[in-house]
Amino acid sequence: MHLESLTDEDIPLPAGRMVTAGEGDGATQPLWLSDGPAPFGSWGRIRAVHARTGLWPLLLEPLQGQRDFRPWASGELYPEGSSRPAGHDPAALLAAWWEGCTSVDEEDDPLSAEERLAVTAPYGAVWPGLAPGRTPSEDPGGHAAETAEVFLSFGTDARLGLVEAASGAEALALVGWSGPANHENDTGRIAAVVADWERRFGARVFAVGFDTLRLSVAAPPATLEEALPIAAEHFAFCPDNVWQGHCADLRAYAEHLVGADAWTFWWD
């Protein structure tokens, strides 16, 4: 990892170290991690020179209540288990996940078919297809930097991470993050959908936790009609956002997406 490229850009780094993932001959160092909290302004400055340095910044959150800053400082990262995001069709992935989330196993499912499909109203079991993209009204990178600063202002203990990657979506796969493993154990597939959101909605990855993902969104839906198919994509991508959230169905979830310029995902 070419950390000296940031020195060339006159961007100082706090104290930190390379994190080793794996053991023996298979060990890699996919991540640089700061020793302490991420400095204010660091995310935006590093992101602004990404095209020249190739380093994507992440604000990394630990598993709550864990002193060893899992999974980042503990090296619980599995880059060898991630496929290439570019090798996947995001629409096909979302459609397959949707089918898996709306199908019912009569023997093992605690919900009846009616209860399960009521959650995905107004679509039921029918995958609505990809939502149309929107044109950002502001620079996605600048918006992401502002969102990252607001996030840090809440007093989080997030540390600064650096990954050598072409984008935030690609960084998720290259670093070997496994947060969504209970839903999808190939982070390359998760990253493929995030990359598509980068293109369609000006989304940018700015923070990642043990099992959480935070995106800034420069082109959020402006109406409930625009938000509904995006809500369907969110459900397929991260059903726990709806199943274990505070919304009775997709329509209620979509109402929260209207004008929302940051999206948060959590997998149980």
- For position 118, what pLDDT does the model report? 83
What percentage of the chain has pLDDT greater than the value 70? 96
Answer for the pair 247, 238: CB distance below 8 angstroms, yes or no.
no
pLDDT in tens, 243-266: 888 788 899 999 999 999 999 999
pLDDT in tens, 102-152: 886 655 555 566 777 788 988 988 999 999 999 998 999 999 999 999 999
What are residue 19's DSSP bridge partners? 31
| Pair of tokens at residue 128 | 């609505």
Strand-pair category, 28-37 with 159-164: antiparallel
The model scores a pTM over 0.85: yes
- Cα–Cα distance, 172 to 187 (Å, whole number): 7
What are residue 164's DSSP bridge partners? 55
Mean pLDDT of the chain: 93
- Cα–Cα distance, 175 to 187 (Å, whole number): 10
- For position 109, what pLDDT does the model report? 59
Given a cut of 60, is residue 67 above it in pLDDT?
yes
Answer for the pair 60, 211: CB distance below 8 angstroms, yes or no.
no
Amino acid letter at 188?
G
Q: What is the DSSP letter of 128?
A: -
